[in-house]
Structure formats: structure tokens, C-alpha cells
Homo-oligomer: A and B are copies of this chain.
Amino acid sequence: MGAQTQDVNLTQAGLDHWAAAQPNGKTNGHTNGHAAQPLQLLDASKLTFQYADSTAREVPTEAEANAGLETICTDHMITCKWKAASGWEKPEMVPYGPLSLMPTASVLHYATECFEGLKAYRGFDGKLRLFRPDMNAKRMLMSTLRISLPGFEPKELEKLILALVAQDGPKWLPRSRPGSFLYLRPAMIGTQPQLGVQAPKEALLFITASFMPRLDLPQGGMRLHTNPEDMVRAWVGGFGYAKVGANYGPSLLATQEAKERGFGQILWLYGPEGYCTEAGASNFFMVWRAKESEGGKLQLITAPLDDRLILDGVTRRSVVQIAKERLADEIEVVERKYTIDEVLEADKEGRIVEAFAAGTAFFVCPVSWIHHRGQDVHIPMGKGEMGQYTSKIKNWVGDIMYGNEQHEWGVVVDELQQ
């Protein structure tokens, strides 16, 4: 690696790989063996509409919406079926409701599933925005290909996401609630009703929009517990970098045990060296002062992408970029492997300044405590809820999301009239 900055663009690499495999760059990642009959591509312009009675449901408050055991979704969802023999059908906007799956459906047995998470933000300027949705759409393609689900043109997925927000945004994220968000969840599942370990020949893409609790300011900061030695999240040669279901279910047990001990998330370490990788399902950042022997500079450090252990987070990428642009005078941004022992040493030497988790769900969330096998690292949170660098970065990114700063990362949604 060597270099202290890094921009291995895994999502672009995945996309290039897929594109290169297409005859004429245009058959959706699968062929049907009949050269004469091209497979249908995912095509947002073919979207059909079956409207819900939008007067039937009232929009709850955030508190009401997040109080129960069920995610409250908006009036509509988008679905699109795929078959290996014919390609993508027309995408459909339909009333939100249950999916019907045969008990033999691939996804229910073999975890042929992947998803994305992004948010729609109601700006303080009244506009509705997405944050870098192109990155989610490209990453989704990489995830689908990793899990043997069908490929698609990321731009078409992005258009479908925008169509759903344009439809349900005005009602569910009203102008009267600036600073609010909806959570968007594109997902793809293998639906072929056939048992047997094989790539599914039928799949379903679906997109929902819903409420989600604000997770970015837990009382006293996020507390991390390192994973038990006999339970690791991801491994080199695995799929830790892809947003596939298989990364989540098996991690729940460790997280549940950590929660019973009063911690919020797992700090996932890797290998006998104990490399710090992710915090729960978020990327993990520390601000520390490098050792005097290494120059003693203030650094923002996070795990690298090149061993494909960690998720190539959109928030992570944005934090790295904005810190490089706006904190260059004060802080060095470092993407490299670093171990829990380095963290413990930095703590003993008083060099830890701040720490935070970064992701769509937790946004930029201050970390106050790391517990590792009997040792505790207490991390300064500044005078208030979080340290100054965490706060600056969070505000800069948040300002783009909520339209306080006009920036190319904030994509304005052309809302339909309510």
C-alpha cells in the first residue's frame, strides 16, 4: 500500500468488470442462450403506475412512526421482476404491501439477497434531496453480481429511486418538516421457487421508502465492544465489501451479546493482528495524534478498502473527501490498516482525540468508549455532544444533505404535486 491516501474505487471496478462482460455492453449480466432474442434491460422509462389511495393513511410523527416493532413505509413501493430467459420486466409503482414468495424461493434458503440504504432529505430551503444516489446504485450492482443476482444499468436504478421519492416525498416528507428524512431501501432477492444451491433464474428488485429512527446522537456517545475471538465478521476472499444479506445475519449474535453488556455495537477486528475494520454496520474513524517518531501530526484514520474487508461506504467516502478538502491544514487523512493495539497504545499515551462511526443509518455518530478484552478506552467527546472535528465534518456533510450548502453531492428531486 505505502501511500497514506487511497482511492481504490471498488464500486467502479465492479461496474467495469460487469460492463466488460456484456456483449455490446447491453445484456444485463445474463444471456439466455438465444442470441436472436435480446434480454430486456432494466428500463426506468417503462415504469407503470398503480396508485394507492393516498388519503387512506395519515403521516405519523417521527416519534409515532418509530415507536413500534414495524417499519412504517410510505404509500408506494417500486417492484421489478427479472427472469433469466427474458430479462427485466416493466418496473411497477404499486401500493406498499406484502410480497408473495413460494416457500422454495431462493432468497429464503440461500441468502441470494443484497440491498442499499440511502436517505431522502427535506432541506431547510424546502427542497427534497438525495445524497450521491449514483454511488448507491453502482454499489448495488456490485453487490448483486457478487451474489449471482442479475446486473442492470445503475442509472436506471437511480431513476427508479428518484421516481419513488418524487411520488411519495411531498406527502411523507412535507415542507413543514425541514431537517427530516425518509430512509430508502432498494433490495434485490432471488425468487426462483426451486430448492438446490444454484444461481436463481428469477429475481425481484424492490424499493421502499420508510421512517427510520435518528441514530446519530446516542446518549453519551456510541459504545463499542470488540468482537469475541471466535466470531469474525468478514475475511479476505469473502464478501465483507458487498452489501449482501450474508454479512448481517451472522453478525447479530455478537451484537446482541454486546448490547446485553451495555454496548451499542461491535468493533470488528480482523486477523491475529486485530486490525480495526468496522463499527457495527458502519465504517469507523479515529482522530489521533501520530507518534512523535512518525511525525506527531494530527490524523484522521480509517481502514482501507483494498483488502475488500469493509464496506465501501458512501458516507465514508464523503468524510474522507471533505476532510481532505477542508481540513488539509490541520489534519492528515490516512487510509491504512491499523490495529487495536495501536489504539490502546495511543490511548495510554494520550494521543486519541476523537472517534466516530460513519454510515447512512448512523450518519456521523461520536464514539465515546471502546472495550477490548478487559481494557477500556475512553474517548474525549469535547465539551458537548461530540468533538470538534467530528462536529465539523458532520455539519459540512449535513449542510449538503439539507440544502444549507449547494453542492453537487446533493441531488434535488423533482417532486410531483401532492
Contacts and interface: CB of A to CB of B under 8 A. Distances in A.
Interface of A: 69-71, 73, 77, 96, 98-104, 107-113, 115, 145-148, 183, 185, 187, 189-190, 192-199, 201-202, 206, 208, 210, 212-213, 229-232, 235-239, 244-253, 255-256, 280-281, 361
A103 B208 contact: yes
A108 B238 contact: no
A92 to B, nearest CB: 13
A126 B215 CA distance: 61
17 contacts: A69-B192, A71-B196, A98-B102, A98-B103, A99-B100, A99-B101, A99-B102, A99-B108, A109-B187, A111-B246, A112-B252, A113-B249, A147-B250, A183-B195, A195-B210, A238-B250, A244-B250
A235 to B, nearest CB: 4
A309 to B, nearest CB: 11
Contacts of A361: 196-197
Contact of A107 (B98, B108, B231, B244): B108
Nearest to A106: B249
Nearest to A243: B109
A265 to B, nearest CB: 9
B103 A253 contact: no
Given A194-B69, A235-B235, A238-B232, A252 B103 contact: no
B197 A252 contact: yes
Contacts of A109: 113, 115, 185, 187, 245, 248
A98 B201 CA distance: 18
Contacts of A256: 148, 199
Given A229-B237, A244-B250, A250-B238, A107 B110 contact: no
A195 B71 contact: yes
Contacts of A239: 250
Given A112-B252, A246-B250, A249-B244, A104 B73 contact: yes
Given A101-B101, A147-B253, A199-B252, 9 more contacts: A69-B201, A70-B192, A98-B102, A110-B252, A197-B361, A232-B237, A235-B235, A238-B250, A246-B246
B195 A111 contact: no
A147 B249 contact: yes
Contacts of A112: 248-249, 252
B246 A245 contact: yes
A239 B234 CA distance: 11
B98 A148 contact: no
A195 B185 contact: yes
Contacts of A281: 197
A104 B208 CA distance: 8
Contacts of A192: 69-70
A100 B103 contact: no
7 tightest CB-CB pairs across the interface, nearest first? Answer: A111-B245, A246-B246, A110-B248, A148-B252, A111-B111, A111-B249, A232-B237
Nearest to A189: B108
Nearest to A104: B71
B197 A248 contact: yes
A263 B107 CA distance: 25
A252 B250 CA distance: 18
Contacts of A107: 107-108
A189 B249 CA distance: 11
Contacts of A212: 195-196
A212 B189 CA distance: 23
A253 B208 CA distance: 27
A70 B197 contact: no
Contact of A73 (B73, B103, B196, B201): B103
A410 to B, nearest CB: 23
Contacts of A96: 103
A245 B245 contact: yes
